[in-house]
Structure formats: C-alpha cells, structure tokens
Amino acid sequence: MWANSLVVLLPLVVYVLARPSPDCEHKVKEQLGAPPRGWTIHGPAPADHSIQLRIALPQPNFGVLEEHLYAVSDPVHERYGQHLSKEEVEELVAPHPESVDAVTEWLASHGIQEESIGRSPAGDWFNIRVPVSVAEEMLNTKYHVWQHADGDFLVRTTAYSLPAVVFDHVELIQPTTMFGRFKALKSTIHSVHKANAPIPSANSPPIVDAATGVTVDASCNSTITVTCLKELYNAVGVTPSAHVGNSVGITGYLEQFANRADLQAFFEDQVPAAAAAKSTFKFISVNGGLDSQNASDAGVEANLDTQFAFGLTFPAASTFYSTAGEPPFIPDIGTPTDTNEPYAQWLDFVLSHPSPPLVISTSYGDDEQTVPESFAKRACAGFAQLGARGVTLTASSGDGGVGDGDPDPATQQCITNDGTNRTAFIPGFPASCPFITAVGGTFLVPETAVPFSGGGFSNFFARPSYQDAAVEGFLNKLPKGTFAGLFNPNGRAIPDVSAQSVNFRVFVAGEPNLVAGTSASSPAFAGFIGLLNDGRLKKGLPPLGFVNPLLYSKAASGFNDITTGNNPGCGTEGFNATKGWDAVTGLGTPNFGKLLKLVT
C-alpha cells in the first residue's frame, strides 16, 4: 500500500535553523505597485486596533500531494478513487520543523508565546491576534484605515517586510495587502423577485428538447423547481438512499442564515417526501458563525443553496456551515473585531474534521485580482487537500460575464488592479482555482447560455493538463486576434460545467421568490454530484472526489452541449457558446442518466 511508503516519497530538504532577533534586517515580502482602484487612505490605523494575523508556512511537499490528488482522480489510473486520509494529507502539507521553530522564535521575540498561537490541523498556518502597533513592528510597515468609493473600510497596508532569518520560512501573512472587499465577496445572486404562491401551470404541452430527447413541463421556462431540474437533466425517478453514507454540504458567509421553516415550506412545495420526514440540515458554526432562525434574518442565498442542494439529494445527510464575518471596520465606532478572507477560516475548520461532506457547494466569489496571488494560491492548495480526501467542491463562476462582477455590462470597468490600469477581462475566485469545479449558467428550454454566466481565463493559475485538449480546441476556433490582450489564453479556463440559473423557486420568510444567478447553478450541480455519489456508494464504489479530470475525459460524453448564447462584458460581446467546451458554459449541463452509467 502506498501509504506505508509515504516517507520514501517525500523529498529530503535540510534547512539551517536560524535564530531571529527583532532588530535584524528586514526584506520586503510583498508589495503592491499601487493602491487597488477605488481605495483611498482614510487615516492612520488606531494603534490598539486588534488584528488577527494568519501566517502561512511553506508546504515543501505540496507537489507530492498534488501528484497523489491527480492519481486518485484520474479514471484510468490504477489508484483511482483511493482517496487519502486526513492524516496522510496533513503529513504531506506539514511545514518543516525548522520553519516552525524559526517562526515560533520570531513571534516569541515580540512577546507572543506558544499558548497564544493558533495552528491549522497540519501546522502550516499560524494564527495570532495582536494590536496594530505590534503588527507594524513585526512587519516593519504602517497600517492605515482605507476607504472604498462605495463606503467600505479596511485596515490594511500596501507592503510588509520580514526579518531575513525568517523570510524563507514564511510564505505569506494576511491581512496585509489583501484589499478584497467582503461585500465584493458576495453572493453571486443576479436577481430576486416575488413568485406566485402556487407553482404556475403552463397551459401548454410539455417541451421536448430535440437535442437531448428529454421532455420537460412547459412551466419550467418560467419557474425552476426540483422537478424541472430532474426532468431537464434526466434524473426522473431517481431514489437516493439514506443508508449508504452519502452527504452534501453548503457554505454560508456574510451573516447569511439558512432558515429551517423556509426549508420545510420548500419541501412541502417541491419535495413532499422530505416534508413528510420533517427533514432538516445539520448546522455547524465556523469561527463564531450564528444560526438565527428569525424569519426576518432568512438569507436568500443561504435558502437557495440549502433548499435546492438538499432537495435534490434527500435523504442524504445535509450540513450547512455558517462562517462568521461581515464588513470588518467602521472607524467611528471604536475598535471592532477585524476579519480575514473567510475561505481561510472555513478551510481550517473543515480540514480539521475527519469526515467532511462528500460534495460541498459555495455560491460566493470575488474578482480574482482583488485577492493577492500568494493568498489565492494558498487557499487553492487548501481546496486540493479536500479533493485528495474525496470531497467534490463546486463554486459559482460569477455573474458578470467576462467582466468584473458587475451584472450590468454597461457599467463594468474591467480595469486591472496592478497599477497599469489596463482594460482586461476579470476572472473570478475561487472559481479560477483548478481544484474546484466552476459552474456557469444556462436558462430556458431548450437551454442556452445565460448572458451573465461568468467565464474566461485565470491570471493566477496555469491551465491544468486535464483541460488542454478541450480548451485548445475552443481557442483554435476563435478568429485570430479576437480579444487580443484582454485575457490569458494559457490560464485555467472557467467554467467547467453549467446548470440552469434563472427563476429558481426559493422560499424566504415563508414566501416564494424567483432567484437568478450562478449562485443557483452551483448548488444545483452539486446536487447531481450527490446523486452520482449515491449511485456509486450503492455499488460499493468510493465517492467521486475531485471530478475535473473525470469530467474532461471519461465523463465528457455525459453532458448536454450548449451551443447558443454568449457572456458580454467589458464593452465586448464576450465569448460565444459553441460545440464542445466554451468559456460560457464549459462542457455543458449534466445528463444524469448518461453520467451514472459512465461513473458506475
């Protein structure tokens, strides 16, 4: 068994243990060329403002973990499906003891003792809480309160340095240069409006999709329900089991609360068996996340995600994670609690658990360029750890087409944040992480690409090999010079797949609403992954885990190819949906019946 020889696979690296002192020479670790667009200095940061610093130690063997991840995720590899344990993953991402000692001594030199240091499960992140005055001394920098043109405030700096003796033992420290806005790390919901109390009856004959051969109720062109999704994606009559160990999870941020009463109303409306069973979800608080069940606090995003993901997969075990965090700083109300990029807190938490849900969806995202590249890559490495353990991660591709997250192409600025002020397409994160399955959007029956479907190419992550054939085929079909200089043709391409994204019937505060956005596509697609896992588990097979290599190879024929529509933005018409993979709908939408045969 490979695990027994794990130590043989790890490269031997020897560091000389350095003993830092607080007054030794500093070297610049990270520096912004210019303040990000829209941000100006409001004033100096209060010296006693409390800030939680997250210190990433290098993961010298991450490349080995990545090799294992691709081996267990490649359907033609002999180790396909042999996912790693929590302990095996932690061994592969653990920092060298020399790094741990060097950083611990550096912190001690600033009065931060062992008992005040929080550590991630693998010990590759240190967490400390210090006043701004101490952070400034440690990092040889100056923090300011920055204000965005839209009114948000952050405590950040544009550069920080580290003592030379710990420089190579630290990969990054945040919050420092991260100007991603919590409001920009938003639900990718595109629109919400009230729905009719009963599901409307379309006084028309059913729609027969000539391309897929499926028959869909005519009402699905105006209202999407669980039944519509099962009809569209060839899963009518599928009966999941409650006894095979299947599980589905939803992440919630920005004080978005999933309401149990609304879930019951949704079940009564669309999943009678779940209503009869009084099915509900397990709530897990992350970093102090709350679980308000007041009807007035019900979140459209949280309700959308839980209702459709759990409605599609009932009776699989369901979990809702509530991760604390909201706009972190209002300078006129004293010293508040500062916060970080929330994916980090959630990753620390979920990686500490031995049995996370087998598929987890997130419908939140940010412009890739608002997240420092070092942090985006480190968070992406965390997602890879979950994939290696057999977890499928899905994320919305965004609602700005090829643009900057603004759903109105007319008001998108699409200006780079690196000080050069170039016009460019703006990909989203975490969808751009190659270890996540990015889900774009479609609408109508027969399906066409929805104009707001986020798509394009990462500027941080290189195109993974599993995408090469599909994406090169798409790029070769583009007329020469199309969008020259506006995107990185060698970057990781998004989305991977798509699903319906308009007029989802969601209950909020007891009332039905119609919701649109790729925030609907991600939990819907996650639901079908959950159904595929159910089929595999019934046959004694392992869960799908990191699915992208499978989707682009053996399972590629299990998708409905979407060939119409485009995703305008940045003053352009964006990319066109076309035969094969495209940067609007990816490989297309799922045909569950075909996929089940391909994966079981």
Per-residue pLDDT of the chain (600 residues; tens, 9 = 90+): 344 334 333 333 333 333 444 446 899 999 998 888 788 999 999 999 888 899 999 999 999 999 999 999 999 999 999 999 999 999 999 999 999 999 999 999 999 999 999 999 999 999 999 999 999 999 999 999 998 887 878 899 999 999 999 999 999 999 999 887 644 345 677 778 888 877 776 678 899 888 888 899 999 999 999 999 999 999 999 999 999 999 999 999 878 899 999 999 999 999 999 999 999 999 999 988 999 999 989 899 999 999 999 999 999 999 999 988 654 445 544 444 444 456 788 999 999 999 999 999 999 888 898 888 999 999 999 999 999 999 999 999 999 999 987 767 767 779 888 778 889 999 999 999 999 999 999 999 999 999 999 999 999 999 999 999 999 999 999 998 899 999 999 999 999 999 999 999 999 999 999 999 999 999 999 999 999 999 999 999 999 999 999 999 999 999 999 999 999 999 999 999 999 999 999 999 999 999 999 999
Domain co-membership, 295 together with 395: yes
The domain tally of the chain equals 2
In angstroms, the CA 139 to CA 136 distance is: 5
Does 560 lie in the same domain as 495?
yes
The CA distance from 552 to 544, in Å, is 14
C-alpha 238/C-alpha 248 separation (Å) is 17
Sheet holding 189-194, edge to edge: 189-194, 511-517, 504-508
Q: Give the CATH number, domain containing residue 569.
A: 3.40.50.200
In the listed set 132, 150, 174, which residue is the last one of a domain according to the structure?
Answer: 174
Residue 415 annotated as lining a ligand binding site: no
At 200, the amino acid letter reads P
Distance of CA 321 to the CA centre of its chain: 14
Please state, in angstroms and rounded to a whole number, the distance separating the CA atoms of residues 208 and 573.
30
Helix (H) or strand (E) holding 559: strand 559-560
Is 242 inside any structural domain? yes
With respect to residue 283, please indicate whether it lies within any of the assigned structural domains: yes
Query: How many Cβ atoms sit within 10 Å of the Cβ of residue 240?
Result: 18
Q: Assess whether 338 carries a catalytic annotation.
A: no
User: 550: part of which helix (H) or strand (E)?
Assistant: helix 548-551
Distance of CA 578 to the CA centre of its chain: 26
Q: Is 571 marked within a binding site?
A: no
* In a shared domain, residues 285 and 146: no
Residue 81 domain-assigned (yes or no): no
Determine which one of 361, 397, 432, 519 is catalytic: 519
124 is in an annotated binding site: no
Active site residue 468: no
Domain ranges, residue 344? 186-599
Q: Which residues pair with 566 in a beta bridge?
A: 576
Domain boundary among 174, 197, 213: 174
Clarify whether residues 482 and 535 are in a common domain.
yes
CA distances to 179, 287, 302, 384, 399 from 255, in Å = 20, 12, 9, 26, 21
- Do 223 and 167 share a structural domain? no
Do 315 and 203 have their domain in common? yes
Same domain, 160 and 256: no
Looking at the fold, whether 221 and 110 belong to one and the same domain comes out as no
- Annotated catalytic residue within 305, 348, 366, 368: 305
Q: Are 185 and 366 in contact (CB under 8 A)?
A: yes
580 annotated ligand binder: yes
Find out whether 32 and 144 touch, Cβ atoms under 8 Å. Answer: no
Contacts of residue 519, defined as CB under 8 A and 6 or more positions apart, other chains included, come to: 187, 188, 189, 190, 301, 304, 305, 363, 364, 396, 399, 501
Q: Which two tokens stand for residue 398?
A: 């965004």
Active site residue 305: yes
Active-site residue among 301, 366, 399, 404? 301
pTM: 0.93
